[in-house]
Amino acid sequence: MKKKHIFIFTLIILSIYLFFNTGIFYTLRSYIVMYPYSIKHKDKSLLKRKNIKLSIPGGSLMKKDWYPFTMTFTDDEGFSKYVGRDLALTILYNFGHFDKLNGSSTYFNPSSPYFSSFYGAYIVYDNENPNNRFGFKNLNEVNVKELMLIPKYDQTRLVLPSLGCPYNKTVFKVKIGNIKGNINYIGLDGWTRIDATIVTNSPIHKYKKGQRGYIQFGRPLKEYYNGVDFPLINLKGRVYAKYFNKYKMTFIFYVMGKDLNLIENCDKNILSKSRIIVN
């Protein structure tokens, strides 16, 4: 009987060890932590304060495309310091699905179409001057330089540093391609679409213990990577921007990835299905 107990105890310990050292642990950890964390930020978001609901579809566990739900992050203070103005910023975002065997989001996988890819929305409000149209020179003409401050801030001050990339090593350069105004998008007129090429850092890097970004993205695919950390890559980007005079807010839908097909597919099948609902 004693030997049986020892065997069962050993089996339990081995099972626990295997669970915490396999991909499923990192996948479940991301879901379990990020869902309530997102809810917390949603409850203090600009949208919540203005009684507006923004619905953006998440990914599909069956199709293995994107993370199963879109998350919310509120960063009024950080963005205000970055720009030097009293602003409110709410970010909705999603990234590539998890490879459960590796315990890693395909965000880390250079052979995946979801490598270094994001989609979501930015919502901005000027606390100092509510009549100021952030990202616009007038009601319909975009201020591209100002608009691009948001994705640049997101990438170089939030995403990359969460993986251990030093601030002084982060890069985000945008080359504007096509700009098209007065577009109907998500059932509303007056959007401006901007297509661009982006030079920024790849998320590939040697594993560094304790990086907070690992909680949501999982462990880096190449823990024993010995190349250059966070090398530069070229990405495609698309945004739809509109200033809502009624709400005094700028809404920006975005998708970024290495492949134009991914941009088109995400735009058509996910972003364009988004809805803005005013209660």
Inter-CA distances, 256 with 48, 171, 206, 218, 236, Å: 26, 15, 23, 20, 6
Mean pLDDT of 195-216: 94
The answer to whether the pTM exceeds 0.75 is: yes
* Contact status, residue 86 vs residue 80, Cβ threshold 8 Å: yes
Beta-carbon contacts of 28 under 8 Å, excluding residues fewer than 6 positions away, are none
pLDDT band at 21; cut points 50, 70, 90: low
130: left (phi over 0), alpha (psi -120 to 50) or beta: alpha
pLDDT digits (tens, 9 = 90+) for 233-271: 999 999 999 999 999 999 999 999 998 999 999 999 999
